[in-house]
Structures are given as structure tokens and as C-alpha cells.
Chain A
Amino acid sequence: MASWSDLRTEEPALAAAGERLLQPNGDGTAFLATVRSDGGPRVHPVMPVLADGRLHVFVVNLSPKHADLLRDGRYALHALPPRAGGEEFYLTGRASFIEAPGRRAEAVEASGGRLGGHDFESLFELDLRRVLHTVWANWGTAEAWPDYRRWRAGD
């Protein structure tokens, strides 16, 4: 597992693409997949927050995905496609519940105060396992073809 700052260090172009596509300032939407208690998948939108070189999400503490992340931290996150299309940004890893008030304050500040202002919003850090940035050539045509840029955290 690795943090976002590890990705920045090892693959700065990939990290820059992720920051552009995820808009992790608490104002960008991405889709988070979690594992239900029966092992099936669940998916809902979240608003990622990058604070102190770590990627986070705030999750309502009564939501099913909150229980999913506490039980089985494995997640997959996909950025919204950009308006012009032709790119995808995807990552997987494990989420961990963050209790430290200082960490929470940093994430609230990094979201511009948009998120984390209520006690019912729990903070999770998203550790990175795999990252995939897809750039499509000839997007919007029948000849569209993907170029994959991958990164995997060292064990």
C-alpha cells in the first residue's frame, strides 16, 4: 500500500493526471465501489479530498458504504469522465478510518470547508494499491483505442 504522496514521488505525471481528473478539493465527484456484507459490490458517489499528501473521502456514518469500509476496507474509485471525454482515472486499495482530530481538520480545510463539518461525516484515508490512467485515441469514433498508464504500489 502507498499514499498519494508516494504516487507523486514515483509517477508524478500519473499523480498530476489523477489530481486533474479527481479534483480532490471536496468539489469533484468520483464513484466509490465497496464490498457488501454478502460479498457483492456496492457503488455510490463521493467527493475526494487530498490533504497532506493523502487521499481521503468523507462518508456519512449511517450509510451502508460506511459499514462496508469498516468491515472490508477494499475499495475501487473511478473519476468522473471529463466533459470532453477520452480519459479515465481509476484506483484501488484499502480505506482506513481516521480518528485523529488533526488529520480531520486538515481534510476539512483542504475541502474548503465544504465537507466534514458534521459529526456524522466519518473520514477515511484511501491507501493506493493500483492506479490506472486511460487515454483514448480517436475518442468518439469507432476507431477509439486506449493507451493505459499503470502504477502499482510496492509491497
Chain B
Amino acid sequence: MARWEEFERLAPEIAEGGRNLIYQYGIGLGYLATVRKDGGPRIHPFCPIIAAGGLYGLLVPSPKRHDLARDPRAAIHALSPEEVDDEFYLAVRARREPDLAVLEAVAEVYRATGGDTNDTEMLFEFDIDRALLATYKHRGDWPPLYRKWSAPGG
């Protein structure tokens, strides 16, 4: 597993492409898949935040937050661009970050992109196991160029 800054150092092209897709609409946007209590999948949109060398989510009380507290395995996918189907996918493990100074630093980055915060969020950092960046020449192009990365020792 790797923090975002290590991923960025070891796979800079994939990380740059991923960052661009996460922030393509200004505020970070993506889907977060988690494991339900019964083992089935759950998926909801959320706002990934790249800050302080990590990839984070400020999560309000919700089923997905309970999922992560019980089973840290998660998957993240950036939203698709409107003109082409480029993809950025991460298999991650979530880790609660209880340090309020880190939470405030991440929240400041989030607010600078237009996000709102309140006092109900918990901060989770997502450590990266695997990354996939798929880029297409145009809509309908197949197959795309796949670039994959796995964390050392993962």
C-alpha cells in the first residue's frame, strides 16, 4: 500500500492523469465503492481530496462510513469526462485519520475547491494498492491505452 505521494513519485504519469480526472470539474469528484455488512457492494459519489501528501475523503455519517469502519477495503473511480471515456480507478484501503490538525488542513484544501464542511465529517485516508488509468483516443475507440500500477509489496 502507498500514500498518494508515494504513488505520485513511483508512477507520475498515472498519478497526473488520475489527478486531472479527479479534479476535472474543479471540486474533486468520484465514486466510492465499499463492502456492505452482508458482503455485497455499495457505491455512492463522494469528493476525493488530494492534500498533505495523501488521498482523503471527509465522510459524513452514512452507510459507507460504517462500511469503512468495519471493512477498510474500497474502490474509487473518477467521474468520466463528457467527451471521452477515460477512466481512473484505484483499489484502496481506508484508514481513519483522527488528527484534527490533518483534518483541518485537508478541509481547507477541500473548501478552496468549493466544498462545504460541517462538524459531522470524519477524515479517512485512502492508501493505494492498485491504480488503473485508461485513455481513449476518442469515444468508441477500443481498446484504450491501459496503464496499471501496483504498490510495492502489494
Name A's B-contacting residues (CB within 8 A): 29, 31-35, 38-45, 74-78, 80-81, 88, 90, 92, 141-142, 144
Interface positions, chain B 10-38, Cβ under 8 Å from A, are: 31-35
User: Can you list 26 A-B contacts (CB < 8 A)?
Assistant: A31-B31, A31-B77, A32-B43, A33-B41, A35-B35, A35-B41, A39-B39, A40-B91, A41-B35, A41-B42, A42-B75, A42-B91, A43-B32, A43-B41, A43-B77, A44-B87, A45-B85, A74-B40, A76-B40, A76-B42, A76-B43, A78-B45, A81-B45, A90-B43, A90-B44, A142-B116
| Residue B3 CB within 8 A of the other chain | no
Chain B interface main SS type: strand
CB-CB < 8 A to A142: which residues of B?
A: 116, 118
Interface string of B59-91 (1 = CB under 8 A from A): 000000000000001111101100001010101
Interface string of B87-127 (1 = CB under 8 A from A): 10101000000000000000000000000101000000000
B41 in complex: contacting residue of A75, A88, A141, CB < 8 Å: A75
Given known contacts A76-B33, A142-B118, A144-B116, what 13 new A-B pairs fall within 8 Å (CB)? A33-B31, A35-B41, A41-B34, A41-B42, A41-B74, A43-B75, A44-B87, A45-B80, A45-B85, A74-B41, A78-B43, A90-B43, A141-B116
Name B's A-contacting residues (CB within 8 A): 31-35, 39-45, 73-77, 79-80, 85, 87, 89, 91, 116, 118
Most buried by B among A42, A77, A88: A42
Q: What's the minimum C-beta distance from A62 to chain B, rounded to whole angstroms?
A: 10
Is B85's CB under 8 angstroms from A43's CB?
Answer: no
B89 in complex: contacting residue of A34, A43, A74, A76, CB < 8 Å: A43
Is B33's CB under 8 angstroms from A43's CB?
Answer: yes
CB-CB < 8 A to A39: which residues of B?
A: 35, 39, 73
B75 in complex: contacting residue of A40, A74, A77, A144, CB < 8 Å: A40
Is B40's CB under 8 angstroms from A92's CB?
Answer: yes
Q: What's the minimum C-beta distance from B39 to chain A, rounded to whole angstroms?
A: 6
Q: What's the minimum C-beta distance from B72 to chain A, rounded to whole angstroms?
A: 9
Is B89's CB under 8 angstroms from A40's CB?
Answer: no
CB-CB < 8 A to A40: which residues of B?
A: 35, 73-75, 91
User: In the bound complex, how far is the Cα of B35 from the Cα of A35, in angstroms?
Assistant: 8
User: In the bound complex, how far is the Cα of B16 from the Cα of A10, in angstroms?
Assistant: 47
Is A41's CB under 8 angstroms from B73's CB?
Answer: yes
Q: From B90, which residue of chain A is reached at the shortest CB distance?
A: A43
CB-CB < 8 A to A144: which residues of B?
A: 116
CB-CB < 8 A to B31: which residues of A?
A: 31, 33, 43, 78
User: In the bound complex, how far is the Cα of B117 from the Cα of A142, in angstroms?
Assistant: 8
Q: From A134, which residue of chain B is reached at the shortest CB distance?
A: B44
User: In the bound complex, how far is the Cα of B91 from the Cα of A29, in angstroms?
Assistant: 21
Q: What's the minimum C-beta distance from A139 to chain B, rounded to whole angstroms?
A: 11
User: In the bound complex, how far is the Cα of B43 from the Cα of A77, in angstroms?
Assistant: 7
